């Protein structure tokens, strides 16, 4: 997966290009139950700072019980061996502890640690060979590479990294499905998510994966409409036309707009409300993810296509907060697309942490259609005659 963010006329929009053949994360991690580090005296055998590349020996007593920690198991796609590690988030810094091979005494010359923004590569020299312990170009968030320090502590290699965003809690060292579903709760703050796009099936499957992962309530506009009308969407279109279905879905979205902690799957195609630019009044109440299929074969092509799409204002989907471009579709990859959606949402909200609160304000003022430039209380869209100051 490759990710990028771009600014448009309507504000910041984050876009993800997902291809089943691409996976930029070479170190995959899975979370187990939280386990606190033991509190004990430790002696550092050496320390290395990536900024100065200097080395000095010293002794110091430290304890690690001030951190909230997770015990993890990391499978490196490079080394093909299972590496045990411990990860802790100490607020402004995160710490990674990798267990080295038992019985071997290593010096700093045998260790290679390369950190750069959102990437980390940890390798050790063993029997003349450089073995990859952990490698990923998708850390959970950005770090300050020049502030990275590592040292050998008994049988562990300890890497200490300073976060760019000290307020963001990292559930794990790498961005994965587990860390995203755990970490997004602090960012979303209860805001709902709407999945839009031309395919109702894709919308449904991706929204269900998101709901399960986040612990949100899954809601499906297709199921709600068919349950209410006692007929299928196809028969409804044949009997009354696509406009009737779109209007009905818009009413459903209005009733759902005040809900929190839900993932809503919307109708795809011309009969869906989300495909119509004039039906977005209540979709703005939550974060919208446009899942769009593309023939692009690389990130740059998908990036350019997304920019063109965002400029086509007559397409309702162009109002979405997040765009996920799919190279083909396979239902078995729904979870991967859901992960890409969370990754893009994470980028978007980190860029403007006031967005969830702004969504909440938009709902409290009645979802009047004045997104993203919210007007003061009492504003009536039907009598709007000119520009108004933005209300925050």
- Which residues touch 385 (CB under 8 Å, ≥6 apart)? none
Predicted local confidence at residue 22, as pLDDT: 44
> Residue 78's closest CA among 6, 13, 129?
129
With 0-12 CB in 10 A as exposed, 13-18 as middle and 19+ as buried, what is 145?
middle
In angstroms, rounded to a whole number, what is the distance separating the alpha carbons of residues 318 and 313? 6
Q: Hey, what are 218's tokens?
A: 């899954």
| Chain centre distance of CA 267 | 23
What pLDDT sits at residue 355? 97
Two structure tokens written together for 375: 């007007």
Which residues, 6 or more positions from 31, have their beta carbon under 8 angstroms from its beta carbon? 70, 72, 171, 172, 178, 179, 182
Residue 129: predicted pLDDT: 85
Across the chain, which has 392 residues, the per-10-residue mean pLDDT values are 33 55 34 30 45 34 31 34 80 93 71 93 86 92 96 90 96 96 97 97 98 98 96 96 97 97 96 95 97 85 81 83 90 95 96 96 96 92 60 53
Query: Distance between CA atoms of 67 and 170, rounded to whole angstroms?
Result: 12
- Cβ neighbour number for residue 392 with a 10 Å cutoff: 9
Cβ 273 vs Cβ 224: under 8 Å: no
What sign does the CA torsion over 25, 30, 36, 38 have?
negative
Residue position matching structure tokens 């209300």: 391
Q: Is 107 helix (H, G, I), strand (E, B) or coil?
A: coil
- Which one, of 139, 275, 97, lies nearest residue 197 by Cα? 275
Res 100: pLDDT:
81
316-350: pLDDT as tens digits = 999 999 999 998 899 999 999 999 999 999 999 99
- Encode pLDDT of 53-84 as tens digits: 333 322 222 222 323 333 333 333 333 345 67
pLDDT score recorded for residue 223: 97
Sequence-separated (6 or more) residues with CB below 8 Å from residue 73: 29, 30, 32, 82, 83, 84, 85
* pLDDT at residue number 37: 35
For residue 7, the model assigns a pLDDT of: 32
Tell me what pLDDT residue 65 has: 31
* Residue 390 confidence (pLDDT): 57
Helix (H, G, I), strand (E, B) or coil at 148: coil
């Amino acid at each position: 997966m490759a990710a990028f963010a771009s600014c448009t006329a309507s504000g910041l929009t984050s876009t993800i290009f997902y291809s089943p053949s691409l996976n930029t994360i070479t170190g995959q991690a899975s979370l187990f139950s939280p386990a606190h580090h033991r509190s004990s005296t430790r002696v550092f055998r050496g320390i290395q700072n990536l900024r100065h590349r200097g080395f000095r020996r010293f002794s110091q007593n430290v304890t690690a019980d001030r951190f909230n920690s997770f015990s993890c198991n990391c499978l490196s796609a490079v080394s093909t061996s299972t590496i045990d590690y411990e990860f802790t988030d100490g607020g402004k810094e995160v710490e990674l502890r990798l267990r080295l091979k038992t019985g071997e005494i290593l010096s700093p010359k045998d260790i290679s640690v390369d950190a750069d923004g959102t990437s980390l590569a940890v390798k050790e020299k063993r029997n003349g060979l450089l073995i990859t312990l952990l490698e990923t170009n998708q850390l959970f968030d950005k770090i300050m590479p020049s502030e990275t320090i590592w040292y050998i502590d008994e049988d562990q290699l300890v890497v200490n990294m300073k976060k760019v965003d000290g307020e963001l809690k990292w559930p794990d060292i790498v961005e994965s499905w587990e860390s995203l579903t755990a970490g997004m709760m602090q960012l979303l703050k209860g805001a709902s998510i709407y999945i839009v796009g031309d395919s109702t099936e894709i919308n449904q499957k991706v929204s269900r994966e998101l709901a399960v992962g986040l612990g949100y309530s899954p809601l499906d506009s297709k199921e709600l409409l068919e349950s209410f009308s006692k007929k299928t969407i196809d028969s409804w279109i044949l009997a009354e036309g696509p406009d009737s279905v779109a209007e009905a879905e818009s009413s459903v979205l209005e009733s759902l707009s005040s809900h929190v902690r839900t993932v809503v799957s919307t109708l795809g195609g011309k009969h869906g409300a989300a495909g119509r630019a004039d039906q977005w009044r209540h979709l703005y109440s939550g974060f919208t993810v446009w899942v769009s299929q593309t023939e692009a074969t690389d990130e740059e092509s998908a990036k350019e296509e997304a920019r063109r799409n965002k400029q086509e204002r007559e397409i309702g989907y162009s109002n979405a907060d997040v765009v996920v471009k799919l190279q083909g579709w396979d239902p078995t990859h729904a979870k991967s697309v859901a992960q890409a959606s969370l990754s893009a949402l994470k980028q978007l909200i980190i860029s403007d942490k006031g967005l969830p609160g702004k969504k909440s304000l938009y709902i409290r003022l009645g979802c009047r259609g004045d997104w993203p430039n919210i007007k003061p209380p009492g504003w009536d869209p039907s009598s709007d005659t000119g520009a108004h100051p933005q209300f925050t």
